[in-house]
Amino acid sequence: MKILAVSDNHGDRYFMEEILSIYSEQVDVWVHCGDSEFDEKNPLWQNYHTVKGNMDRTNAFTETRVESFHEQKLMVAHGHLHNVKSSFDALKQEAQKEDVKLVFYGHTHIPRVDREDGIYFINPGSLTQPRGPINKGSYAIVEMEGKTGGVTYYDTDHNKLDQLSEKITL
């Protein structure tokens, strides 16, 4: 299974469309972690599974989603309601309640992978307003085969960011 995750594009559709055109035949699941600032009628939502971020004005998106794909359950949240800038405690509680091992979130604009109590918290970073270790927009691709896989980060020029990429085991 291949999951592509983006977040925090803040009204810019260029990179979301470009990524979709590049990976359309390769990706099984498309995730958006909120703050798109698009309305619910945007045609990109035919592909991307999204949640409501703190900058999204529509109430058509849910705050959190839990879905199963290819026998893998995953959660998507923006993170602002879970205080992800200070800890993963609230997000972890919700993930444990839902028995989820892969959690995608945004809000901080910082691309990173963290593991707590067997749960992976994956932030793809921001496509348009990067923060953290790289000064370029980013997105993430998670590839899983059974219980093992990896998270690979790319910048918006589609260069692999080896320093951020990580192997994972569920």
DSSP secondary structure letter of residue 79: S
pLDDT, residue 165, reads 95
pLDDT, residue 144, reads 95
142 CB-near residues (< 8 Å, 6+ apart): 2, 3, 5, 102, 122, 149, 150, 151, 152, 168
Residue stretches of the chain with pLDDT short of 70:
none
Homologous superfamily (CATH) of 2-169 is Metallo-dependent phosphatases (3.60.21.10)
pLDDT tens profile 140-150? 999 999 899 99
Question: What's the CA gap between 62 and 105, in Å, rounded?
Answer: 13
Domain positions in the chain: 2-169
Question: What's the CA gap between 104 and 102, in Å, rounded?
Answer: 7
Percentage of residues in the chain having pLDDT higher than 90: 95
Please name the helix (run of DSSP H) or strand (run of DSSP E) that holds residue 23, with its range, or none: helix 14-23
pTM comes to: 0.97
Contact present, 40 and 58 (Cβ < 8 Å): yes
107 CB-near residues (< 8 Å, 6+ apart): 7, 8, 33, 34, 35, 53, 54, 78, 79, 80, 84, 85
